[in-house]
Amino acid sequence: MRSWWGKFGALLILTACQNPTSATQPATLISRSTPTPIQAQSSVDGLALGHRLMAAGKYVQALDAYTLASGQYGLTADVLSALGSANLKLGRLKEARLLLEHAVEKDPKFVAAWNNLGVVLMEMGHDGEARRAFRNAYALDNGNSDQIRKNLTLAIAKSEKPAYAATKQNRFELVRRGNGRYLLLSTPATN
């Protein structure tokens, strides 16, 4: 009987020494040298990762990476343009338009955002607005990009000849910028 009371007393003392919430919560062991998911993600440049994923055709993952970039950099013109471009590739035209419009509001001299906004507007059938967006992109670029010139030419032709759209389907190409420059993305031709 005495040994039973001794064991009960030791258990009572150990219970009194516990943290009151530890009995209801599972114990977790976290090593300080092991990064948490948030720490691991913060070492990844969301914009660079998103650009690589876009080039690989992984648009959903690129959108996730650009969302990570929005947490890293804030909603800069680059991030908004990247989010808009990913949404465009996913066929989310309304979201893409809003994001790209915000991007050109934040940085009215952002050539890639103007071009991408033109692409969205063409896809939505807003030919006149697309023409203005491509004209802005072309003027800001000083006519240096053949792709922007091609987009502007197609927008002009489509807005002047409504039958042009029915006879010929054109795929516009996105332009994006990273580290102060912009690149052209080619889209595969569809038959």
The answer to the question of residue 50 being in a domain is yes
Long-range interactions of 118-126: CB distance < 8 A, separation 24+: 118/151, 118/152, 118/155, 118/172, 119/88, 119/151, 119/172, 119/173, 119/174, 120/84, 120/88, 120/93, 120/96, 121/97, 122/151, 122/154, 122/155, 122/158, 122/172, 123/88, 123/93, 123/172, 124/93, 124/97
What's the whole-number mean pLDDT along residues 50-62?
94
Instruction: Output 163 or 73, whichever has higher pLDDT.
Output: 73
Average pLDDT value for residue range 151-178 = 67
- Provide the CATH number for the domain around residue 109: 1.25.40.10
Range of the domain at 101: 43-184
Predicted local distance difference test score (pLDDT) of residue 171:
60
Structural domain contains residue 110: yes
Residue 147 pLDDT greater than 80, yes or no: yes
Look at residue 23 and tell me if it is in a domain: no
> What residues contact residue 124 under an 8 Å CB cut-off, 6+ apart?
93, 97
The answer as to whether 13 is a domain residue is no
Q: Is 84 a domain residue?
A: yes
By 3-state DSSP, what share of the chain in percent is helix, strand and coil, each rounded to 5?
65, 5, 30
Q: Which residues are 176's β-sheet partners?
A: 183
Is pLDDT at 32 greater than 70 in this prediction? no
Q: What is the pLDDT of residue 145?
A: 87
Model pLDDT, residue 8 = 47
User: Rounded mean pLDDT of 14-29?
Assistant: 42
What's the number of domains the chain is made of?
A: 1
Residue 5 lies in a domain: no
**Do the domain assignments include residue 150?**
yes
- The predicted-structure confidence for 63-102, as pLDDT tens digits, reads as follows 999 999 999 999 999 999 999 999 999 999 999 999 999 9
Query: Is residue 80 domain-resident?
Result: yes
